[in-house]
């Protein structure tokens, strides 16, 4: 059973009332990292228009230039003009913009959402359904979010602050991109897709959450730092000059423009680094404190060196890695740009420094803590629906640990132990950690992972290395990916399995095979499909009953038996995938033409070899578009309830269900109650009319209890979905695949969905992930949940996602650690792909919701990411609170 | 001589849109605080010879290119102090 206090469980989750238990005493970071984190806590998300101003100015000046060269010149101008900001005590420096949590709009991608509501651009975007998700998103009210305009500061998207004196210029710059941005050009041409109006209806009803082509065209992928680490910036530039000499004038001429564009972009990045070096020198000149002065001088020397050359030390290499990470983030709106297996990429540098006495463990830990702070400072400027509704303000820089080396032996190393230690001492949302579990990993390493997860940070998530490799071999085998190469994989973004390659890093005449990302964004395409809402549309014969708008033509079934419900659902789902795939392919085509990737392209194998950017399939692996879903568990539970109550036991007719759904089972709406979880919903006056049908809906078998009646529905769905996804072709003419993560979309997508046959009430948040139980419905303990979750083959999908909440008392002490590891092993050995944990007392979350100021540093795991509690919207907070809390295994 | 603020100072280190750190005193300060005696103007468009004001918060660079007065121009190759400021 899941708890010692069974009486506290109701249908909708837990309401424990004993004393709050914490995760125990937390270790503290070094004083340097502590000070940096305190400054971070004070900092608000801030927007500057320096980069977009210079980008646009240069772009305008080069009308008629070859597009990719014009883009490179614009990027170069942006980098060159960024004002350097170096904060006291930093060992690693540089950032996206001239604020601690700085970011900026990229109007060349999309300019409508940050215009004033009365502006034509905004109105047009609203009409096409592009901004509907914004209206159903709740933003976090605390932490670094600028939720309201005040004084000289304007709030944008409920999160970002902009200085009033920059507002008119931002709007003017944005207007220059009207009819030229990826969004506008893509929109113009996507309307040529037959049935396009259906796509708009899908967006307006939030059956589909957002378009990826102009919102987050890159990300959900793994960085590759090999080229700068091995050759340095000047080395890459020289390589491009050599390549130009080889290809100039020969067929396939686009290659020379690509190489020229890479050179220009790198010149901009060099200039940017040199500007920081000059600022460090300036700060040293006015610094009175000796140690800080020395550090500024060392920083200046380091930056000057790596502005041209490959790194000489671990510190150099980490700084170089960070610079290129930010440089990619500055070329596009990106979430989920994962640094990958950093502990293995940097291990040769670290090992050499340790051997030569250049660094010790204490200094290494301090540097790794500083790295955590820098990654946490990353913000992504996007619309409210995207930054709040999808990302919850998170940026998903996933750092992976463990897995296997090229030769198939354990890849865990001492530096990775230190990375885990830094994750414990300096608990911050970024980079989140994922442990690539393999039976070959040493026990000591796994127990260190357990120690970290137990601290309540939500990381590392535990990932099945073998399942991921099986997926990769299946998905990329036709592009030449083989077993050895499959071992180089890592998680991109929150949970996107991404292919990698082994790169031959030569240090001191010795080759070290380091892993790095080898594909572009592995999660673009159809993003996200709201499964319970689609079932609702089936039940109401093509209508969205919330808005009264027709989404699809009538399906033509009487829905007299379960098979017809299932068939109608598959028909509508397929129809949605078809039109959304085509429209998104056009948007991404606009992206690659208007805003091609240059920084990321130069880093990814084999773009430099082929002379092609990512958009031209320069990468080694390109089968990277997917169909993402949300609300799997609610769909399955609803189908189970209908199968039982309508078609097996004949307790109710479908018409009776329709009426109950429209009446919200006699409850007030979530909006009226101000709560988004079922736990706090309030019955209305006529609740008694619907009490019986609601009770029987809730009593119907639920996923997560090892009950074949409902688990078989999940199995049937998964086996169909994972195969049918391959029927759709991406922009790169490759088959698409299934992706099953909710991120934060289960909040806004639940908000637009009426009550369901599973007993879920209107507007409430869905179950998170794809194999997480609906809160309070998994009553047979974790092992029953594992059996349900693994009733299908997870290697058929890019991912599956299971979140669990465990009371801290269960995993206390060494014995608790062993039990915890065995629990995780049990799930992964059954074939589960991913499991992650909140080790937290739900009462603490309730307290934090009531009194957020006292919980500024509280971290929780949502769905593939860790975030500060105070920066989460209430939809997600309510869902996390209501999750089943296991008090024993 | 127009009013100058901390945000116009070369020693101002912005943390966010509400506050920054004085590089000299290391204290947290508001960008809208009047410039102190130790302050030193940072190059900005509105201090540049090439800048012409047009309306509030907007102007032109070299007579034709969109510009705004508060943009830091320390990395602009064409910046020239306008001594009339």
pLDDT on residue A884: 85
Statement to judge: residues B27 and B55 lie in one domain: no
Q: Give the one of B11, B17, B21 whose C-beta lies nearest to A44's C-beta.
A: B17
Asked whether residue B37 falls in the same domain as residue B49, the answer is: no
Asked if residue B47 and residue B37 are part of one domain, the reply reads: no
pLDDT score recorded for residue A121 = 60
Statement: residue A375 has pLDDT above 70: yes
Q: Kindly determine whether residue A165 and residue B76, on different chains, have CB atoms separated by under 8 Å.
A: no
Residue A8 has what pLDDT? 35
Q: Are residues B49 and B32 in the same domain?
A: no
Q: Which of A4 and A639 is assigned the larger pLDDT?
A: A639
Residues from chain B that touch A166, judged by Cβ atoms under 8 A, are 57, 68, 70-71
Token pair 């007579």 is found at B63
B26 and B61 in a common domain: no
Query: Do B28 and B47 share a domain, yes or no?
Result: no
Output the pLDDT for position A117.
Answer: 65
Residue A152 has pLDDT above 50, yes or no: yes
A705-731 pLDDT tens trace: 999 999 999 999 999 999 999 999 999
Q: Do A172 and B58 touch (CB under 8 A)?
A: yes
Straight-line distance from the first to the last Cα atom of chain B, in angstroms, rounded to the nearest whole number:
6
Q: Is the pLDDT of residue A21 over 70?
A: no
Distances B71 to A44, A165, A166, A846, B19 between C-alpha atoms, Å: 20, 9, 8, 44, 17
Interchain proximity B66–A85, CB inside 8 Å: no
Q: Supply the Cα-derived Rg of chain A in whole angstroms.
A: 26
- pLDDT score at A10: 37
Q: Which residues contact A215 (CB under 8 A, 6 or more apart)?
A: A109, A110, A333, A382, A383, A386
Task: Report how far Cα A272 is from the mean position of its chain's Cα atoms.
Answer: 28
The yes-or-no verdict on residue B37 having pLDDT over 60 is yes
Distance from CA of B75 to the nearest CA of A (A): 5
Counted domains in chain B: 2
Task: Give the pLDDT of residue A841.
Answer: 86
Given an 8 Å threshold on Cβ–Cβ distance, is B15 in contact with A168? Answer: no
Phi, psi angle pair for A803, to nearest 5°: -110, 135
List of residues 6+ apart from A357 with CB closer than 8 A = none
State the pLDDT at residue A415.
98
pTM: 0.95
Q: Answer yes or no: do A165 and B68 touch at CB < 8 A.
A: yes
Same domain for B25 and B58 = no
Strands (E), A408-499: 432-437, 461-464, 490-492, 496-498
Task: Let me know whether B48 and B10 are in one domain.
Answer: no
Query: A415 versus A853: which is more confidently predicted?
Result: A415
Residue A853 banded pLDDT, cuts 50, 70, 90: confident
pLDDT for res B83: 77
A 165-184: CB under 8 A from B: 165-169, 172-173, 176
Contact criterion met (CB below 8 Å) for A423 and A433: yes
For A267-301, write each residue's pLDDT tens digit. Answer: 999 999 999 999 999 999 999 999 999 999 999 99
Q: CA of A47, closest CA in chain B: separation in Å?
A: 8
Tokens 């949940």 label which residue? A785
A3: pLDDT strictly greater than 50: no
Does residue A741 surpass a pLDDT of 80? yes
Facing A100 at nearest CB: one of B16, B28, B55: B16
- The answer on B60 and B26 residing in a single domain is no
Mean pLDDT of chain A: 93
CA distance A260 to A84: 26
Which class for B55: exposed (0-12), middle (13-18), buried (19 or more C-beta within 10 A)? exposed
Q: What average pLDDT score do residues A443-470 get?
A: 97
- The answer to whether residue A439 scores a pLDDT higher than 70 is yes
Chain A residues with beta carbon closer than 8 angstroms to that of B65:
57
CB contacts, 8 Å: A285 with chain B: none
Q: Find, in chain A, the residue whose alpha carbon is nearest to that of B67.
A: A169
Shortest Cα distance, chain B CAs vs residue A89, angstroms: 12
The pLDDT of residue A558 is above 90: yes
B81 shares a domain with B48: yes
Among chain B residues, CA nearest to A170: B68
**SS3 assignment, position A402:** strand
Least confident of A22-36, A82-96, A276-290, A558-572: A22-36
Q: Do B74 and A152 make contact, defined as CB atoms within 8 angstroms?
A: no
Distance in angstroms (rounded) separating the CA atoms of residues A748 and A766: 9
Which residue numbers of A are catalytic? 494, 496
CA distances from residue A666 to A535, A645, A685, A776, B12 in whole angstroms, order as listed: 21, 19, 7, 21, 59
pLDDT band at A382 (very low <50, low <70, confident <90, very high): confident
Cα-atom radius of gyration of chain B, to the nearest Å? 13
3-state secondary structure of A138: coil
Identify whether residues B38 and B57 lie together within a single domain: no
Is the confidence at residue A259, as pLDDT, over 70? yes
pLDDT of residue A13 exceeding 90 = no
- Give the minimum alpha-carbon distance from B65 to chain A in angstroms, rounded to a whole number: 8
Please give the Cα distance from A740 to A725 (Å, whole number).
12
For A661-730, the DSSP string reads HHTGGGBPPHHHHT--SGGG--B-TTHHHHHHHHHHHHHS--TTS--HHHHHHHHHHHHHHHHHGGGSB-
**Are residues B85 and B48 located together in one domain of the fold?**
yes
Residues of B in contact with A107 (CB under 8 A): none
Q: Which residues of chain B have a CB within 8 Å of the CB of A83?
A: 72, 74-75
Give me the numbers of helices (H) and strands (E) for chain A, helices first please: 34, 26
Indicate which CATH number applies to the domain containing B2.
Answer: 2.20.70.100
| Strand duo B58-61 + B65-67: pairing | antiparallel
Cα angle: A215, vertex A216, A221; to 5 degrees: 170
| Closest by Cα among A458, A491, A454, A467 to A821 | A454
User: Judged by CB atoms within 8 Å, which residues 23-82 of A form the interface with B?
Assistant: 39, 42-47, 50, 53, 57, 80-82
Residues of A in contact with B21 (CB under 8 A): 87-88
**Residue located via tokens 């629906």:** A385
A390 burial level (CB within 10 Å; 0-12, 13-18, 19+): buried
Question: How confident is the model at residue A24, as a pLDDT?
Answer: 56
* A87 touches B at CB < 8 Å: yes
Average pLDDT over residues A462-488: 98
Query: ipTM score here?
Result: 0.98
Number of Cβ atoms within 10 Å of the Cβ of A494: 30
- Its domain, for residue B11, covers 1-42
């Amino acid at each position: 059973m899941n708890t010692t206090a069974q009486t506290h469980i109701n249908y909708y989750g837990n309401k424990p009332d004993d004393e709050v238990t914490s995760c125990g005493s937390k270790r503290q970071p070094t004083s340097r990292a502590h000070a940096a984190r305190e400054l971070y806590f004070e900092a608000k998300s801030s927007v500057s228009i320096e980069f977009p101003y210079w980008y646009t100015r240069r772009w305008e000046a080069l009308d008629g230039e070859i597009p990719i060269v014009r883009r490179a010149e614009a990027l170069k101008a942006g980098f060159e003009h960024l004002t350097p900001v170096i904060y006291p005590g930093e060992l690693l420096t540089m950032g996206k913009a001239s604020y601690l949590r700085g970011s900026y709009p990229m109007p060349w991608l999309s300019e409508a959402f940050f215009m004033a509501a009365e502006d034509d651009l905004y109105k047009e975007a609203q009409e096409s359904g592009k901004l509907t998700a914004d209206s159903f998103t709740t933003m976090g009210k605390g932490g670094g979010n600028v939720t309201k305009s005040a004084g000289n500061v304007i709030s944008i998207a409920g999160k970002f602050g902009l200085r009033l004196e920059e507002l008119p210029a931002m709007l003017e710059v944005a207007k220059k991109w009207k009819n030229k941005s990826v969004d506008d050009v893509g929109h113009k041409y996507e309307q040529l897709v037959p049935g396009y109006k259906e796509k708009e209806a899908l967006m307006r009803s939030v059956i589909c959450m957002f378009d990826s082509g102009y919102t987050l065209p890159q990300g959900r992928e793994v960085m590759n730092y090999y080229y700068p680490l091995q050759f340095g910036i000047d080395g890459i530039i020289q390589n491009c000059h050599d390549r130009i000499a080889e290809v100039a004038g020969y067929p396939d001429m686009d290659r020379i423009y690509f190489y020229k564009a890479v050179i220009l972009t790198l010149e901009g990045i060099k200039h940017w680094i040199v500007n920081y070096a000059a600022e460090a020198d300036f700060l040293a000149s006015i610094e009175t404190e000796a140690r800080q002065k020395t550090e500024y001088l060392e920083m200046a020397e380091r930056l000057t060196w790596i502005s041209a050359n490959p790194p000489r030390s671990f510190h150099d290499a980490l700084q170089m890695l960070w610079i290129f990470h930010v440089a990619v983030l500055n070329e596009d709106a990106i979430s989920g740009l994962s640094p990958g297996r950093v502990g293995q990429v940097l291990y040769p540098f670290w090992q050499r420094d340790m051997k030569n006495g250049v660094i010790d463990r204490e200094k290494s830990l301090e540097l790794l803590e500083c790295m955590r702070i820098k990654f946490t400072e990353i913000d992504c400027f996007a619309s409210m629906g995207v930054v709040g509704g999808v990302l919850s303000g998170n940026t998903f820089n996933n750092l992976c640990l463990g897995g296997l080396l090229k030769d198939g032996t354990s890849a865990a190393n001492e530096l990775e132990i230190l990375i885990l230690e830094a994750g414990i001492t300096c608990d911050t949302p970024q980079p989140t950690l994922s442990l690539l579990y393999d039976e070959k990993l040493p026990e000591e390493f796994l127990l260190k992972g357990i120690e970290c997860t137990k601290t309540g940070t939500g990381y590392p998530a535990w990932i099945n290395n073998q399942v991921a490799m099986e997926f990769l071999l299946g998905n990329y085998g036709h592009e030449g990916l083989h077993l050895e190469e499959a071992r180089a994989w890592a998680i991109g973004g929150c949970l996107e399995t991404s292919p990698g390659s082994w790169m031959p890093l030569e240090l001191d005449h010795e080759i070290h095979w380091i892993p790095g990302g080898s594909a572009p964004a592995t999660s673009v395409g159809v993003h996200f499909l709201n499964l319970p809402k689609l079932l609702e549309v089936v039940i109401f014969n093509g209508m969205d009953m919330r808005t009264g708008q027709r989404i699809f033509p009538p399906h033509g079934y009487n829905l007299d038996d379960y098979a017809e419900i299932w068939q109608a659902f598959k028909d509508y789902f397929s129809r949605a995938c078809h039109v959304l795939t085509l429209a998104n392919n056009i948007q991404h085509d606009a992206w690659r033409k208007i805003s091609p990737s240059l920084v990321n392209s130069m880093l990814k194998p084999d773009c430099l070899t082929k002379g092609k950017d990512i958009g031209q399939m320069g990468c080694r692996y390109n089968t990277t578009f997917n169909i993402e879903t949300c609300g799997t568990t609610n769909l399955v539970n609803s189908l189970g309830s209908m199968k039982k109550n309508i078609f097996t036991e004949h307790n109710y007719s479908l018409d009776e269900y329709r009426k109950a759904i429209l009446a919200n089972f006699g409850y007030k709406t979530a909006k009226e109650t101000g709560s988004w979880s079922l736990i706090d919903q309030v019955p209305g006056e006529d609740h008694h009319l619907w009490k019986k049908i609601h009770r029987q809906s809730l009593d119907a078998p639920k996923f997560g209890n090892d009950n074949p009646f409902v688990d078989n529905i999940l199995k049937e769905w998964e086996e169909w979905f994972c195969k049918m996804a391959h029927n759709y072709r991406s922009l790169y003419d490759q088959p698409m695949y299934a992706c099953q993560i909710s991120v934060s979309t289960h909040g806004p997508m639940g908000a637009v969905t009426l009550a369901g046959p599973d007993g879920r009430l209107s507007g409430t948040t869905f179950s998170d992930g794809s194999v997480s139980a609906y809160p309070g419905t998994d009553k047979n303990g974790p092992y029953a949940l594992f059996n349900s979750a693994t009733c299908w083959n997870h290697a058929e999908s890019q991912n599956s996602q299971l979140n669990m909440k465990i009371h801290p008392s269960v995993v206390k002490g060494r014995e608790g650690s062993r039990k915890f590891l065995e629990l995780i092993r049990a799930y992964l050995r059954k074939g589960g792909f991913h499991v992650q944990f909140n080790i937290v007392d739900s009462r603490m979350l309730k307290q934090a919701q009531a009194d957020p100021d006292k919980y500024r540093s509280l971290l929780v795991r949502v769905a593939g990411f860790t975030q500060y509690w105070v920066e989460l919207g209430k939809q997600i907070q309510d869902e996390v609170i209501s999750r089943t809390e296991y008090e024993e295994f | 001589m127009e009013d100058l603020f901390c945000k116009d100072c070369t020693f101002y280190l912005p943390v966010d849109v509400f506050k920054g750190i004085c590089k000299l005193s290391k204290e947290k300060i508001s960008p809208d605080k009047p410039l102190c005696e130790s302050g030193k103007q940072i190059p900005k468009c509105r201090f540049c010879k090439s800048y012409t004001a047009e309306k509030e918060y907007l102007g032109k660079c070299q007579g034709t290119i969109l510009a705004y007065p508060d943009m830091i121009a320390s990395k602009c190759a064409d910046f020239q102090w306008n001594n009339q400021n």
